[in-house]
Structures are given as C-alpha cells and as structure tokens.
Amino acid sequence: MREELYRSIDAGGTTTITLEATGDGGLQLFYHDIGEEARRSFGDSDYEAWATVPAVEVPKLAFALLAERWRGDPRALSAFRDFCRERAIAAESGSWT
C-alpha cells in the first residue's frame, strides 16, 4: 500500500510526502523535495528524508493513533466501525444485553 499525503508544485520545485507499507509489514513516511527551494533550504536540489516504523511497532502505533483520534468522543465505537467499513478494513463487532 502507498498513499501520497501531500504534494506541492510551484516555481520553487516539488515537495511530496508519502506513506507506504514496507514489504516486511512496517510503515514508512517519506519526504521528497526537488528544486531550487530545496537547494536554498538544504544545500542540494534533491532532498529526501524518512521515518520508518518497524513491523513489530505497528500495533503500538495503531493503538496510539486510534486512541488519540477517538479519546473523549462518545461516538467512538460507531465512528470506529464507520471508519473501518468505509476503508474496507475487516473489523468484527457485536453487543450484549
């Protein structure tokens, strides 16, 4: 899986930020800046930077992001179900009385 999170193209160049699932189950956020603005900021017209979360840490990351997203929301359960359904993410749910 790969998704472009940000793209800016102007006279100073092109900046992109992408999120990608690595082959081993990790995640990588990748920043790429090309052009004159990169040269002014970084000393070279082609600048790349990244942060990689190894597969073993992805559950902890998912937990932290979900907790941050829905903390304090009384609709957290239904919002979470909707979120998963809209993105075709398998999620089991149920209820009991």
- The structure's pTM equals 0.81
Looking at every residue in the chain, the average pLDDT score rounds to 95
DSSP 23: T
Q: How is the chain split into domains, by residue range?
A: 1-53, 56-89
Confidence of residue 42 (pLDDT cuts 50, 70, 90): confident
Is the distance from CB of 27 to CB of 20 less than 8 angstroms?
A: yes
Confidence of residue 38 (pLDDT cuts 50, 70, 90): confident
Residue given tokens 């979120």 in the structure block: 83
pLDDT of residue 2: 97
pLDDT in tens, 54-69: 999 999 999 999 999 9
Instruction: Give the percent of the chain with pLDDT over 70.
Output: 100
Alpha helix positions (H), 43-87: 58-70, 76-86
CA distance 97 to 86: 27
Average pLDDT over residues 27-51: 93
- Partner residues linked to 20 by β-bridges: 2, 28
- Partner residues linked to 9 by β-bridges: 14
